[in-house]
Amino acid sequence: MEKKITQRTKAIIAVDYAGQPCDYDSLRAIADRHNLILIADACHSLGAEYKGKKVGTLADLTAFSFHPVKHITTGEGGMVVTDNAEYAGKIRRFRNHGITTDHRQRSKDGTWYYEMVDLGYNYRLTDFQCALGLSQLRKLPGWISRRREIAAQYDGAFAHIPAIRPLRVLKDRKHTYHLYVIRLGQEGSEADRSVIFDSLKKMGSV
* Site residues, ligand PLP (CB under 6 A): 15, 41, 43-44, 65, 67, 78
CB nearer to ligand PLP: give 38 or 101. Answer: 38
CB nearer to ligand PLP: give 14 or 151. Answer: 14
**Neighbour tally for 148: CB within 10 Å:** 15
Tell me if residue 162 falls in helix, strand or coil: coil
CB of 74 to ligand PLP, least distance (A): 9
CB nearer to ligand PLP: give 12 or 101. Answer: 12
Question: CB of 42 within 8 A of CB of 64?
Answer: yes
CB nearer to ligand PLP: give 67 or 201. Answer: 67
Backbone angles phi, psi at 54, to 5 degrees: -70, 145
Task: Tell me the CA distances in angstroms from 40 to 24, 83, 93, 99, 170, one per residue in order.
Answer: 9, 13, 21, 26, 18
DSSP code for 118: S
CB of 110 to ligand PLP, least distance (A): 36
- Give the strand order in the sheet containing 37-41: 11-15, 37-41, 61-65, 78-82
Question: CB of 148 within 8 A of CB of 177?
Answer: yes
- Active site residue: 3, 10, 51, 70, which one? 70
Q: Three-class SS string for 35-96? A: CCEEEEECCCCCCCEECCEECCCCCCEEEEECCCCCCCCCCCCEEEEECCHHHHHHHHHHCE
CB of 44 to ligand PLP, least distance (A): 5
171 included as an active-site residue: no
CB of 77 to ligand PLP, least distance (A): 7
- Report, as residue numbers or ranges, the catalytic residues: 70
